[in-house]
Structure 1
């Protein structure tokens, strides 16, 4: 039998505006002292405050890098890790733009000597014009036609200079030989990296649309190998790596581990908007944590607010001096409190093996990684751009080659090089025709499922750019193409390094796509022709 329970509740509602409720009046110190007693601020605790910290730690530099099947190479710290991971793999493809740039550069270095030898170099080592079947837009064809015969081919000049140090096709006067030789040496040091692959090699895997590489650092008793199985971000971070137990890259014989000790005074953690620990203090109103909105399932935001309100003043930060591009760990930590007691703080993983923060997956030795990354990277315009997407209606995937580098060396928009054909309006006496499959734009290349749907194979005409050419040779793992798709761009990147030098490289950038795409492909249609 159901019942209804009710009760009465007394709630004070002061009508006098002089009664301030929870407001703390500055002019009433006795009221504020009472509030301090009421909130428990005067309550004594049987705990001492930390007054001294002594920490022992170890650091070890990352000394080895490996990408693909190539052997590991030593890391000297002369470049950011982004350049190592994102640099191109293999010999760069020859194009007219690089050839013209190299030839023009050599003529500029010759200076007054170009009046004697420039025309002969351009005739004997000419820049080739575009062939009829080469993919290019109208602008690229006009530029190449203008430069052909006016500047020497940089690739042909490179081959001629690497042998004897002087171009054997041109008769150099005896009094000019030494000057031309010095110019050739300077030009080779500039042009050589543009036509030769980097010895370290890049870690781009076209079948997964991701970079994959490994690093290693010497540790007591051997080495620790770090693997980045799928790096797609613009910045290398510690979250990209997993520890591979038992693997070796030859780092065990490199630089030994460095030990250190730090003794300092602990200070409380401070952050903007932090609640004031004393009733008398005024809080900073820059951040209002009270206005943070969080859904019940948003646990991360709720934990952050709880930490800020309740546990913010219970933490004391302690710096761990680890150089960039190295591993570090704390070997011992002792805290002395205001009662003169010294307490040894164990590692969190030894107390609770299931809890950890900033640790590397697969590591049980307590190492943390500080990557050697570039602080600020400048991105150039996309050199190539390919949109990978799924088309569930056609049971296919699509690789839309939006931008590519043609034989001219300049970036072209594929829809401008080979526009789709327009059949035009039907004739008056048109008859009905059956079409098995409608055409698609030539830069829409189908990805058909093979091997039971686990892999996508590129079909259709040959792609124009290097990015899709690599995918055509390996295929694409089906699991790496979600329903949202992927937008892959290849662009030049530039960054300053810690030694003041400038690094320029070409990188692949992978971002989320725009969902499913359709090229209008239909089967079994009747049309007028």
Structure 2
């Protein structure tokens, strides 16, 4: 018995056409010999390659570019100053006056003695200056002294000294430097950037040397020149602002704010503002264009505004791992574009992959050097191809003025809340550092909302250790409490113990074993590195509030109750060195959301394009980790254990 099967056409699938050499050598395979040109033309026709209109290659291009540079800078104090690129704009915005630590004080004191000896050594021999002539006097005037707590001091005076003693490493450093180095911090605070104040140490004609006046009158000029050079050295070394009001940091907003101005050369000025800069890296997206245009110069300064026409041969834009336009060329295998994994929400990764795999060989690049601090705009590009045809390429955003048109790197123009958004189509290249080295956090404050206590807390998770670094805030609070416990134990030790007379027959003198089961406690406490902020009404408003810095009480047996003060430079704004408050400290309510805020203060270092090393102290704001609870409660009924 035979069975007849119905024949059917087998399913064929062709994934790719490739050559499979059968020889050991690949010369013939890589030669890509064409045996049937008609077949190749037919395949090109099938794939639509013969319908392409961009068959010509670009061989010539002309580009018209307009550039205009920044002319002025305005910080948070509203004072407009000429724009300068001596330091990065990022440094000029972020820098604040740091607290001079002990190690820096030693270096500054040593530098002053060196400068004084250099200036004195260059002076005429008739003035009689010798090296190290005033070293001992300055050692005595500005010493490193370990504080000692004495009887009769107030609670605040004792607290200031106890804070220094609780920093064990700093205390050891003070003992080591005592009598060996000049305290440059004290000299810096004494001069206060005014070199003429060195005259306070100069003797009059009939005076005798004393600890306060010891510089001979004939050395007055030497001391003034040395003080001036030393002040310039400190300001340039630390990149200090002109004064404490010259920085761009706003305490009530916990961020930087500044403005720069561009003179357009047509009678107007464009103002670029950065009202909310806190990211730690300054770039074009930190700026917005102000709504109003101020009056400016009508003449064109070639150093500020320039129009240039370039004639170049465009080159193909390329990147590492880019697919080659000729299939027989070997590609760079350092980047595997085919191995990119993107989900449906990875729009940016999908766009980059599509550009790299499909349209990369259609892009050409024309290099053009733009100075930093420049607003640049390409008017248009004239391209000539191999067939001699000329094409004028407009900017993509010039096809329309709709807000949803395609554009990139555009700055938002402030037009009001109820107006359609607008964009400035020029490209901004701010004078920002490309890469910076950042130290570990010197100070770190975490702001959280405590709904149970109905307040905001500023938690000092890191505080300065007085040696140029930071230490854990909880550890510092514990060390300070240990220092107070030591003082209490010293007070408890009496010189002579006198036992009271006891009447054993009295009922009150008899021992009893009764103990109540419950006890009442007025309130508990929190760690001393938790600084409270309470809600208060803004001045002139019955609805809007902001947070005001408050203080927890420190209750000790040997002192009257007094306020616990913060230890970070950020939260101590408005507090004197003796812990007395001269001005209150407020934070806007909207600056501390439910997620919280984390502020860090660090030293940063970079190399500017002229080779200069630039260092500064600045702050950065990040998002917190949500709400928290301090555990603060009042009117407690507890078990009497």
Distance 1:432 1:327, change over 3 A: same
- The verdict on how the C-alpha distance between 1:189 and 1:143 changes in structure 2, with shifts beyond 3 A counting, is same
Which residue number corresponds to residue 567 of structure 2?
464
Partner of 2:540: none
Distance 1:154 1:32 in 2: 90
Match of 1:455 among 546, 554, 557: 546
2:58 matched to 1:50? yes
Q: Measure how far apart 1:464 and its partner are.
A: 1.9
Task: Tell whether 2:201 aligns with 1:167.
Answer: yes
SS at match of 1:43: helix
User: Does the alignment pair 1:106 with 2:165?
Assistant: no
Alignment of 1:397-476 (within 5 A): 397-405=456-464, 411-419=470-478, 431-435=517-521, 437-451=523-537, 455-460=546-551, 461-470=564-573, 473-476=584-587
Q: Which residue among 580, 602, 610 is the counterpart of 1:499?
A: 610
Structure 1, 150-159 or 305-314: larger mean CA deviation: 150-159
Deviations 1:126-146 (A, max 9, x none): 556545321232333343455
Task: Tell me the distance in 2 between the aligned counterparts of 1:20 and 1:349.
Answer: 41
Structure 1 residue aligned with 2:140:
123
Q: Distance in 1 between matches of 2:617 and 2:638?
A: 47
Pairing 1:516–2:623 present: no
Compute the displacement of 1:429 (Å): 5.5
Listed one character per residue, the Cα deviations across residues 359-391 of structure 1 (whole Å, up to 9, x for unaligned) are 111275532111112233222232211122334
Check whether the contact 1:157–1:167 (CA below 8 A) recurs between aligned residues: no
Query: In 2, Cα distance between the equivalents of 1:31 and 1:400?
Result: 79
Q: 1:223 aligns with which of 265, 269, 276?
A: 269
Q: How does 1:296-307 map to 2 (within 5 A)?
A: 296-307=344-355
Q: Residues 447 and 156 from structure 1, CA distance in 2 versus in 1: closer, same or farther, beyond 3 angstroms?
A: closer
Task: Report the secondary structure of 2:273's partner residue.
Answer: strand
Structure-2 residue corresponding to 1:78:
86
Question: Distance between the aligned counterparts of 2:514 and 2:385, measured in 1?
Answer: 97
Counterpart of 1:211 (choices 241, 250, 256) is 256
Tell me by how many angstroms 1:408 deviates.
8.9
CA contact (8 A) 1:454 1:479 kept: no
Q: Please name the residue that 1:6 is paired with.
A: none
Deviation for aligned residue 1:313: 1.9
1:357 aligns with 2:408: yes
Q: Distance in 1 between matches of 2:200 and 2:604?
A: 33
Question: In structure 1, how many angstroms separate the alpha carbons of the residues matched to 2:42 and 2:533?
Answer: 72
Report the CA distance shift for 1:177/1:54 in structure 2 as closer, same or farther (over 3 A): same
Q: Secondary structure at the match of 1:308?
A: helix
Cα separation, 2, equivalents of 1:428 and 1:149 = 60
SS at match of 1:61: strand
Partner residue in 1 for 2:428: 369
Distance, in Å, in 2 between the alignment partners of 1:204 and 1:251 is 30
The aligned runs of 1:279-298 (5 Å cut-off) are 279-298=327-346
- TM-score, L = length of structure 2: 0.69
1:306-321 equivalences under 5 Å are 306-321=354-369
Deviation, 1:95, is 7.0
Q: Deviations over 1:63-109 (max 9, x none)?
A: 211111331111121110111110116xx667766655543433344
Provide the rounded CA distance (Å) in 2 between the counterparts of 1:450 and 1:296: 47
Alignment partner of 1:478 is 2:521: no
2:159 counterpart of 1:133: yes
Instruction: Report what 2:506 is aligned to.
Output: none
Q: Are the aligned partners of 1:217 and 1:252 in contact in 2 as well (CA < 8 Å)?
A: no
Name whichever of 348-357 and 270-279 sits farther off.
Answer: 270-279
Q: Please give the alpha-carbon distance, in whole angstroms, between the structure 2 residues aligned to 1:430 and 1:117.
A: 70
Matches of 2:63 and 2:620 in 1, distance apart? 41
Summarize the Cα distance change of 1:35–1:189 in structure 2 as closer, same or farther, 3 Å threshold: same
Measure how far apart 1:442 and its partner are. Answer: 0.9
**Partners of 1:165 and 1:184 within 8 A in 2:** no
Shift of 1:231: 1.4
- Asked if the contact 2:463/2:473 (under 8 Å) is kept, the reply is yes
Structure 2 Cα separation of the partners of residues 201 and 11 of structure 1? 83
> Is the alpha carbon distance of 1:46 and 1:349 closer, same or farther for their aligned partners in structure 2, counting shifts above 3 Å?
closer
Give distance in 2, aligned partners of 1:44 and 1:282. Answer: 29
Matched, 1:189 2:189: no
**1:308-327: per-residue Cα shift (whole Å, max 9, x none)?**
22222222122343111211
Where does structure 1 lack aligned partners over 5 or more consecutive residues? Answer: 1-8
Within 5 Å, give how 1:32-51 maps onto structure 2. 38=43, 40=47, 43-47=50-54, 48-51=56-59
Cα contact 2:436–2:604 (8 A) shared by 1: yes
- Which structure is larger by alpha-carbon Rg, 1 or 2? 2
Q: How far off its partner does 1:393 sit?
A: 4.7
Structure 1 residues 241 and 148: alpha-carbon distance in aligned structure 2, compared to 1, 3 A threshold: same
Alignment deviations for residues 160-201 of structure 1 (CA, whole Å, 9 cap, x no partner): 952465832444457866655554443233246669742692
What's the counterpart of residue 173 of structure 2?
A: 143
**Secondary structure in 2 aligned to 1:467?**
coil
Between 212-221 and 279-288, the greater mean CA deviation after superposition:
279-288
The one-character-per-residue Cα deviations of 1:18-50 (angstroms, maximum 9, x if unpaired) are: x99644435485699768854738535233332
Q: Which residue of 1 aligns with 2:394?
A: 346
Compare 380-389 and 37-46 and name the one that shifted more. 37-46
Aligned match of 2:11: 12
Alpha-carbon spacing, 1:333–1:120, altered in 2? closer, same or farther (3 Å): same
Q: TM-score by structure 1 length?
A: 0.82
Secondary structure of 2:201's counterpart equals coil
